[in-house]
Amino acid sequence: MFSTKPWCRLSCNRVEQHPHLRQRGFSLLEMAIVLVVIGLLLGGALVPLSVQMEKQDRDETRRLLIDMQEAVLGYALVNGRLPCPDTDGDGQMDISTSCSNVTGQFPWVDLGLGKDDAWGRPFTYRVSANFADTTDGTGCAASPTAGLSFSLCSLADITVLDGAGGNLVASTIPAIIVSHGKNWATSSSNDEAENSDADGVLVDRVYSNSAAPTFDDLVVWVVPNILKSKMLSAGLIVGNNGNNGNNGNNGNNGNNGNNGNN
């Protein structure tokens, strides 16, 4: 028995014989509800995904910063001074005798790494001039070791705070490297502005992308006593002779280093 409808003889015939097979489409209301539910599910999944991606980027950048910190120490062991920043964007440090431009980008060509962070942006690098110039034992040693830019008594001039105008985290730091994070350097955050104003005061504090002032920068620095300890271990700085002042490895009282003349 065939359907009387010529335009759908086969399929209509089957439905007419088996009414329970008759199909009905979704109403507009049902479709709207389904779309809303899918949207909610997708929205719920996408927020954690972006958070997860930022965490991966931060972890990657943090690992790179640790390697860069190690590379700076290695550079000091080989060259007797810290690298001077790159100030013209070619990845090579810009230095004459002195390291007069102490803030710039990390010299990624000379150091062999550290061109960009995980967000494709350059790192900010600041160094203490006394630790990066080509003058032996700048500032304190009476008879500095030839070829060494700094001595045990040399003082660095970088300070790290826990917020703009906040408490000290570290002082007399020879060099510091900053990734400005996913948001780069927001003008609305005093704490982030402190890391991009090219002076010797920088901020390292807990991450926050919601509560003001926001802060997503990643910061590592060269610890003065680790630097000097490595130089001592390598025999590059001699701890107890007058050449390097009389202050042992206490970098923080280096003001007395001038007494080495006496």
Which residues of this protein are in contact with Ca ion, per CB under 5 A? 86, 88, 90, 92, 94, 180-181, 183, 192, 194, 197, 199, 201, 216-217
Smaller CB separation from Ca ion, 117 or 217: 217
Smaller CB separation from Ca ion, 84 or 142: 84
**CB of 246: closest distance to Ca ion in angstroms?**
33
b/e sequence 80-118, b meaning 16+ C-beta within 10 Å = bbbbbbbbeeebbbbbeeebebbbbbbbbeebeebbebb
Eight-class DSSP state of 194: T
The Cα–Cα gap between 238 and 245 comes to 10
Smaller CB separation from Ca ion, 92 or 246: 92
Residue nearest to Ca ion (CB): 181
Looking only at Cα atoms, what is the longest distance across the chain? Answer: 122
**CB of 30: closest distance to Ca ion in angstroms?**
46
In the chain, count of helices (H) and strands (E)?
Answer: 6, 7
Smaller CB separation from Ca ion, 140 or 158: 158
**CB of 55: closest distance to Ca ion in angstroms?**
15
Contact 80, 151 (CB under 8 A): no
The Cα–Cα gap between 38 and 32 comes to 10
**CB of 36: closest distance to Ca ion in angstroms?**
36
Smaller CB separation from Ca ion, 83 or 245: 83
**CB of 214: closest distance to Ca ion in angstroms?**
8
Contact 228, 222 (CB under 8 A): no
Eight-class DSSP state of 13: H
